[in-house]
Each structure stands twice: as structure tokens, then as C-alpha cells.
Amino acid sequence: MSAGNPDYRDSGLVFPKGFTFGSATASYQVEGAAAEDGRLPSIWDTFSRTPGKVWDGDTGDVACDHYHRWESDLDLMAELGLDAYRFSIAWPRIVPTGTGEVNQAGLDFYSRLVDGLRERGIRPVATLYHWDLPQPLEDAGGWPVRATADAFERYAEIVGSALGDRIHTWTTLNEPWCSAYLGYGQGGHAPGRHEPAAALAAVHHLNLAHGRAVQALRATSTGSPEYSVTLNFHVPRGEGPDAAEAVRRVDALANRAFTGPMLKGAYPDDLIADTAAVTDWSFVREGDLTAIAQPIDVLGVNYYSTVTVRMWDGVSPRETHDGHKGAPEGTAWPGSSDVVEFLEQPGPHTSMGWNIAPEALEQLLGSLGEQLPGLPLMVTENGAAFDDAVTDDGRIRDEERTDFLRRHLTAAHRALAAGVDLRGYFVWSLLDNFEWGYGYAKRFGIVRVDFDSQERTVKDSGLWFRELAATGVLPR
């Protein structure tokens, strides 16, 4: 059963009947129409306008113009035979000031999108928060303050009431690791702060927002949606004499800071101890952990690459290749930045500089399956940026991306064969889009977007993925 090819370049593997093949995008990365129909700025509008923060001064003002082209984009998804589409709802379209009036035009946009998906037989998988916090909420303190979680609960109630009759899967948050640590610690993501204690307060308020949102969505959804959250698990590999200690610290901050409260109802003791010099965690109030630990139906797993860590000897020049996005002005590792170092990863790499390690996806899915028995898993993002070339005949022969997808789908299949309850795989991304700090310089799509004409062209990897979705068999 299990794939035999040691380099994970398999074909002919048969995925189980009902396995979901989908694609993913996020509102700020594709929609554009930043000032239309009542949308107000998010932290990413502000950040992308701040000189030096985003490559070449790119913004999401127009992006893929998906806000206007959604119908033909849905037709494209139907042509690709996708079972499901993972998109995100822009909070600043729904409650533009964060706490004030509801903007019906924003709800109407997503209502049309959801109906359009269902008409085409594509299941809507909606994420409530993929990083576009309404700017007024940041002005009032952002995720480090509790009121942001209160505002999120209300926003969840609003979208639950409007769309909860038709959504297949609700996902509360996308990668809260990035929101908290890159946004408030390292500073490479909006809002670009470098405050280690604030980053940990953001972790907690994001966790709280998740739990409260699951409850609000459950109370308002009249259909029978599934509930989930998407985390970007780190797969640390250790080196040096205290390898296990370095791995433990990174695992605590990156993974267990979220899975602990969300799935087990407690913050790990070692996380609290590792960060004691940064914060006393007094922002955790009585009742919070019960509110956070809501049952969910499926856990979303985003995976791109690994990190290699070592305890720093305190003497040699410290290495900081943590592979994350944006210029590291601050640290994404509060409490551990002075003791752990991140080593350069051996290749091969994608054009993001991220190492390609499909075996780590197999390992991650296997270990989550063991740690969380009874909780189905879904790969909600996996994919690669490469520098695509359009040939004279207009084709994009993106063999490296197809190879990447093949190897990671082989890894996913190996996990399945080993008994992991993996339900599906969403490729990141449907379209080339606004890649955060890298602007439009990095292309992840299985469909090319010409950002001058907005023309879409299915890349060879997209044709390959279409065959996979149609047959359920890993193509040649």
C-alpha cells in the first residue's frame, strides 16, 4: 500500500474515495477592491503603505481583482474539478470599524460567492481571519488586548447568522502563529510591532477569539457546518549537544502554545516557564481556558518547510535563519531568542528560500495523528513559489511546482497508508497573488495571473492537479 519511492516521487497512488482536493486563497491576497462597497483599511493596507515593509511598495489594492472577477474565478475552479474552495472573509468588509456598524454589502459579496460555489458543486470552506484586522482595532491595541477577542466574537456571530446555513466548514483563524509572533514580535508582518510580551498576549487573545468564535458560529449557523482552525505547525529538527532542548522550546512556542489551550484546555507548563522573563501570563483570566477548548471537527494543517535549531553557545555569531517572512527586526521567539539559534537549511529550496522536505509532512501528519486521536486532519495549505516562465506558446511549464506537489501528496498518501485520518489537501494557491511582505514577486498559483491584464492561465501544475482531482489517482 505505502508508497515505495524513497524520494517521494510517486505516481499511481490511489486516494480514498471522498478525499477532498481543493485550493486556497485569502481575502487580502486576492480580492483587491480595497476601498469599495464600504470596506475600510485593515492592518495590511496600512502596513503595505509603510515604506520599506513590502517588496517594491506593492499593496493589495487591486491584487487579483477577485472581488470583481469572482464568477469567472469560480468557473475556473469548476474547470479544475475542485471539490472545495478555502477562502477567507475580510473582517473590514463586514464590520469595517471593527466594533461598529455591520456592512451589508460585504455580507452580500460573500453570500453570492458561497451560492456560486454551491451551484458549481464546490464546498465552501470559510476562514474568518486570515490576517486582515480592521485598522481601528489595531489603533485600540490590536491582538495584545482582550477587546479584540470580544470584537471577533461579535464578527463571528454576524457571519454565522448570514452564511451559516450554507458553509461546509468554518475555520476560525489562519496561522495564529504568524498573526501573533510575526505581527507583534518579529515585525515582518502587519502591524509590524516588536514587542515580545505583546506577542504572547496576542497568542492568548487569538486563542480566546478562536474559542469564542466556535461558540458564536455554533449558536448562529443553521446548517450543519464543521468547525475547525488552521495552524502552521513547525517541524523543528535539532542539532548539537542539547538538540532536544532546542526542539522542545520551539515546539512549545510554535505548536503547543495553540494546541495546548485549543485541544487540551491548558497552556503547557514549559511554555510558561520558558517565557517567564517576558510575561507573567496575567492576561489569562478565569474561564478563558474553558472558553478556548471548544470541540472541533477537523484540524487544518499548513505545511511548507522545516526549521533546524540548536542551543546557542552564547559566544559564536548567532544564526537566525528561521525561514520566516519579512525582515527580522524583532524576534518571533519570545523567551527563546537568546538561547536558540536557527541554522541555515540545506537545499533544495523554493524561490522563497524554504527547504523542500516532503518527509517532514509525513512525519507531522503521523505525529498529529498519534497525539490527537479521533480528530480528523486536513492539509489546508501546501504549495511552492517558483519563478515561472511563460513560453512562446503561452504555456507555463512549471515542472518544479508539479514535482513539489507530487512529493507532498506522496507524503500525505504515506500518512494515510499508515492510518492517519487525513481527509483532504488544499493547494496553496489557486492564483498567483499578493504574497505579504514579498508583494507580487513570489508566485504560488497553479493558475498564473498576469497582473497587468488580470488574465488567468492554468499552469501545467494546475492541469496535473485537475487530473488528480478528477481521478483520485496521483498522475504521472
Q: Which is nearer to ligand FCB, 164 or 185 (CB)?
A: 185
- Where on the phi/psi map is residue 50: left (φ > 0), alpha (ψ -120 to 50), or beta? beta
To the nearest whole angstrom, how small is the minimum distance from the Cβ of residue 325 to ligand FCB? Answer: 7
Question: Can residue 228 be called a binding residue for ligand FCB (CB under 6 A)?
Answer: no
Question: Can residue 45 be called a binding residue for ligand FCB (CB under 6 A)?
Answer: no
To the nearest whole angstrom, how small is the minimum distance from the Cβ of residue 428 to ligand FCB? Answer: 5
Catalytic residue among 341, 381, 400, 435: 381
C-alpha to C-alpha distance for 344 and 322, rounded to whole angstroms: 8
Bridge-partner residues for 425, per DSSP? Answer: 21, 379
Q: Which is nearer to ligand FCB, 158 or 431 (CB)?
A: 431
To the nearest whole angstrom, how small is the minimum distance from the Cβ of residue 433 to ligand FCB? Answer: 8
C-alpha to C-alpha distance for 63 and 209, rounded to whole angstroms: 28
C-alpha to C-alpha distance for 375 and 226, rounded to whole angstroms: 12
Q: Which of 103, 186, 232, 305 binds ligand FCB (CB under 6 A)?
A: 232
| Residue 362 is among the residues annotated as catalytic for this protein | no
- Three-state DSSP class for 343? strand
Q: Which is nearer to ligand FCB, 25 or 221 (CB)?
A: 25
Q: Which is nearer to ligand FCB, 234 or 310 (CB)?
A: 234
Q: Which of 435, 447, 465, 466 binds ligand FCB (CB under 6 A)?
A: 435
Question: Can residue 354 be called a binding residue for ligand FCB (CB under 6 A)?
Answer: no
CA atoms in the 13 A half-sphere facing the CB of 120: 24
Q: Which of 8, 47, 170, 428 binds ligand FCB (CB under 6 A)?
A: 428
C-alpha to C-alpha distance for 464 and 460, rounded to whole angstroms: 6
Question: Can residue 174 be called a binding residue for ligand FCB (CB under 6 A)?
Answer: yes
Question: Can residue 31 be called a binding residue for ligand FCB (CB under 6 A)?
Answer: no
Measured in whole angstroms, the distance separating CA 200 from the mean position of its chain's CA atoms is 19
Question: C-alpha angle with apex 310: 304 to 311, nearest 5 degrees?
Answer: 140
To the nearest whole angstrom, how small is the minimum distance from the Cβ of residue 58 to ligand FCB? Answer: 13
Q: Which is nearer to ligand FCB, 388 or 435 (CB)?
A: 435
Edge-to-edge strands, sheet with 236-239: 236-239, 307-311, 340-343
Question: Can residue 322 be called a binding residue for ligand FCB (CB under 6 A)?
Answer: no
Which span (171-179, 260-268, 291-299, 466-474) binds ligand FCB, by CB under 6 A?
171-179
Question: Can residue 458 be called a binding residue for ligand FCB (CB under 6 A)?
Answer: no
Which span (34-42, 160-168, 172-180, 331-339) binds ligand FCB, by CB under 6 A?
172-180
Give 287: exposed, middle or buried? Use CB within 10 Å, 0-12, 13-18, 19+.
Answer: exposed
Taken in order 108, 112, 115, 121, is the CA torsion positive or negative? negative
194 contacts 187 by C-beta, under 8 angstroms? yes
Q: Which is nearer to ligand FCB, 26 or 199 (CB)?
A: 26
Contacting ligand FCB within 289-308 (CB under 6 A): 302
Question: Can residue 170 be called a binding residue for ligand FCB (CB under 6 A)?
Answer: no
152 contacts 205 by C-beta, under 8 angstroms? no
Taken in order 322, 326, 328, 333, is the CA torsion positive or negative? negative
Catalytic residue among 138, 153, 175, 341: 175
- Three-state DSSP class for 312? coil
To the nearest whole angstrom, how small is the minimum distance from the Cβ of residue 404 to ligand FCB? Answer: 12
Buried residues in 305-315 as b, exposed as e (16+ CB within 10 A): bbbbbbbbeee
Q: Which is nearer to ligand FCB, 189 or 205 (CB)?
A: 189
Q: Which of 26, 254, 271, 298 binds ligand FCB (CB under 6 A)?
A: 26
Question: Can residue 172 be called a binding residue for ligand FCB (CB under 6 A)?
Answer: no
DSSP secondary structure, 217-286, as one string: HHHH--S--EEEEEEE---EEEESTTHHHHHHHHHIIIIIHHHIIIIISS--HHHHHHTTTT---TT--T
One symbol per residue from 371 to 390: x for binding ligand FCB (CB under 6 A), - otherwise; what is it?
Answer: ----------x---------
Return the DSSP state at 430: S
| Residue 153 is among the residues annotated as catalytic for this protein | no
Question: Can residue 403 be called a binding residue for ligand FCB (CB under 6 A)?
Answer: no
Q: Which is nearer to ligand FCB, 133 or 162 (CB)?
A: 133
Contacting ligand FCB within 107-136 (CB under 6 A): none
C-alpha to C-alpha distance for 318 and 333, rounded to whole angstroms: 14
Which span (53-61, 170-178, 238-246, 364-372) binds ligand FCB, by CB under 6 A?
170-178
C-alpha to C-alpha distance for 308 and 231, rounded to whole angstroms: 19
Q: How many of the chain's residues bind ligand FCB (CB under 6 A)?
A: 12
Q: Which is nearer to ligand FCB, 279 or 461 (CB)?
A: 461
Strands (E), 39-168: 84-88, 123-129
To the nearest whole angstrom, how small is the minimum distance from the Cβ of residue 14 to ligand FCB? Answer: 28
Q: Catalytic residues, which ones?
A: 175, 381
Residues contributing to the site for ligand FCB (CB under 6 A) = 26, 29, 174-175, 178, 232, 302, 381, 428, 435-436, 444
